Chain A
Amino acid sequence: VRLWRCRCRALLSRPAGAVRPRRGLAAGPEMHFGFQTVTEEERREKIYQVFENVAKKYDVMNDSMTLGIHRVWKDILIHKMNPCPGTLLLDVAGGTGDIAFRFINYVRSVRQRQLQRKLKDHQNLSWQEIFESYQKDKSNSLGDSQVVVCDINREMLKVGKQKAQHLGYTEGLSWVLGNAEELPFDDDKFDVYTIAFGIRNVTRIDLALQEAYRVLKPGGRFLCLEFSHVSNPLLSSLYDLYSFQVIPVLGEVIAGDWRSYQYLVESIRQFPPQEELKAMIEDAGFFKVDYENLNFGIVAIHSGFKL
């Protein structure tokens, strides 16, 4: 409902046919959309359209752009999280469910090991007791862990739900339509909040961070996986070359939409670097904020705790 109201306001405020804001109208503060300058409302609208267009080919494009390395990045994120069974995860901007599925796999394997250890320790139970505990544990293969996937874009959620069905993920998963700047959840709800390659597309990052702080339980963890700045100059020039010459072409060839991928590459350049994002996370109230560079800074994982 909130999303619908948001879009309505965007349609009303934007003068018909015009793309650039007219200076006279008070249509909102100026923001960047890639290398263009737009208002806040326009930015939200444009980003929504970008992801609406790419939703079906999102995973294929991820694989071709990053040569499959994005899977490793996401695996590293889950390993860093090291969730134990019983964790409640909120995956924001988690559209096609990559993080959610990995989380479920990880928790399932941890739970298996736990159960095996329990069986080893209880060697002198009666057959009846073993049978009963086996029944109880078999029905609880995730150990009460749950992941809520929240995304602002309906198309991305649709693709995610289809993928879940296709891959056989049935339990412990829920899909919610929501805006990261105004989450439809109560305070102090979740153990972990993740946002993987999504915070770049949020228009008001500080609001999203504040919302993250709000919905996390005390002791909860904030994890952000995002493209960041490469400090090594040689690598940086190679990376720029690849980003601006190869990726939009791939976008046109594979997804038939070079504009969206031009936006993607530009938005990476506009995003604040590691230290600045760390300061923003601290401002939202998180403690023990730290970041880990992956691949020399192409990607960084920021982590903070609500203490």
Chain B
Amino acid sequence: VRCQQVPPLRALQASAALRRASDEHRKEPLTSSSQQHFDSPPAGHQPEQEPQGPHTSYTGQGGQESEDYESEEQLQHRILTAALEFVPEHGWTAEAIAEGAKSLGLSVAAAGMFHSDGSELILHFVSDCNTKLSKLLEKEQKLVQLGEAEKKPIDEFLRDAVEARLRMLIPYIEKWPQALSVLLLPRNIPSSLNLLTSMIDDIWHYAGDQSTDFNWYTRRAVLTGIYNTTELVMMQDSSPGFEDTWRFLENRVADAMAMSNTASQVQSTGEAVVQGLMGAAVTVSNAETSRAVR
């Protein structure tokens, strides 16, 4: 399978050929020339070319999009997704990625595209989970907007969101401590921090937070703390169905709510104190000036 012409979009020929072979059982295997944007199908092709799936849409009209075009990033994405299945057995390692590549029909050497400590796999998984959480929260919000569900109070909303997100870890819970340690490597901290903050941001957004003052920071800091501590508790939890973890989460969220009341109390007390001081200062300065005048 050797293509002498280089198309302007470099289609990944080998992996695309594999996917085509696995997608189409009944058709005779297409030659690689069908990947180029030809105007008419090459001779020997069957006349019907119904689209087989999202990737194999046939645009034989000389369009820019050749059949089965996929970028390197998309292929890497597919390999990492396939590799997740092998994580419970091999851990978050290059071995799991190699098994994933093998399951897609690629050579195990394709795992060489990634770091040998499995960072990309973990980051991919975290980003996947965050996307799933966003979709879930969006769906719930739509239901509330359509009036089919009740709007939850803040503490229940936060509790449910964090619980939903942490439940996604359950299939991989045994190897998750290893993943956490890899995420803390200096090399990975920018990406992992980014993912964490955007997830917390998402949750607050769907919780209806529209603050534009310092509260924005406090809220996110508080929720990050709740999430991280609950995650750590979950690592060590051996109770059935992780009940202890959910109870811990409930308590922390309740604490946070109470703290915010205290905080506003502190704030109003603080304001009162400041006003008092200001008043005293004004009185003193008036007294000084009036004494000076006298």
Contact = CB atoms under 8 A, between A and B. Distances in A.
B108 A87 contact: yes
B113 A288 contact: yes
Contact of B109 (A187, A192, A213): A192
Interface residues of B, number: 27
Contacts of A217: 106-107, 109
B14 A219 contact: yes
Contacts of B12: 287, 307
Nearest to A88: B107
Given A285-B3, A288-B72, A306 B112 contact: no
Contacts of A200: none
A82 B116 contact: yes
A290 to B, nearest CB: 10
A221 B3 contact: no
A51 interface: no
B95 interface: yes
A213 B2 contact: yes
Contacts of B113: 288, 305
Contacts of A187: 1
Contacts of B105: 218-219
B106 A219 contact: yes
A82 B15 contact: no
A218 B14 contact: yes
Contact of A218 (B17, B72, B95): B17
A84 B108 contact: yes
B72 A191 contact: no
Nearest to B99: A84
A203 interface: no
A161 interface: no
A31 interface: no
A221 B3 CA distance: 19
Interface in B48-83: 72, 75
B78 to A, nearest CB: 11
Contact of B94 (A82, A213, A305): A82
Contacts of B1: 187
B101 A84 contact: no
A187 B13 CA distance: 14
A191 B111 contact: no
Nearest to A214: B2
A82 B111 CA distance: 9
A191 B106 CA distance: 9
Interface string A5-19: 000000000000000
Contacts of B109: 81, 83, 87, 191-192, 217, 219-221, 305
A83 B108 CA distance: 8
B75 to A, nearest CB: 6
A216 B112 CA distance: 14
Contact of A191 (B18, B94, B108, B116): B108
A307 B110 CA distance: 8
B108 A86 contact: yes
B158 interface: no
Interface string A180-215: 000000010011100000000000000000100110
Contacts of B111: 82, 84
B207 interface: no
Interface in B93-132: 94-95, 98, 101, 104-113, 116
Given A82-B116, A84-B94, A307 B108 contact: no
Nearest to B79: A219
A216 B2 contact: no
Most interface-central of A187, A210, A220 (chain B CB within 10 A): A220
Contacts of A213: 2
Interface string B1-28: 1110000001011110110000000000
B96 to A, nearest CB: 10
Interface string A249-288: 0000000000000000000000000000000000001011
A217 B10 CA distance: 18
A3 to B, nearest CB: 23
A9 B72 CA distance: 44
A219 B15 contact: yes
B74 to A, nearest CB: 11
A305 B2 contact: no
A81 B98 contact: no
B94 A216 contact: no
A146 interface: no
A145 to B, nearest CB: 10
B2 A210 contact: yes
Contact of A219 (B2, B95, B107, B116): B107
Given A219-B14, A287-B12, A287-B72, A303 B2 contact: no
A193 to B, nearest CB: 9
Give the 4 A-B residue pairs with the shortest CB-CB distance, closest first. A219-B106, A218-B14, A219-B110, A219-B107
11 contacts: A80-B112, A81-B112, A82-B111, A86-B108, A87-B108, A213-B2, A219-B15, A220-B109, A305-B109, A307-B15, A307-B110
Interface of B: 1-3, 10, 12-15, 17-18, 72, 75, 94-95, 98, 101, 104-113, 116
Given A214-B2, A221-B112, 5 more contacts: A84-B98, A84-B108, A213-B2, A219-B14, A305-B113
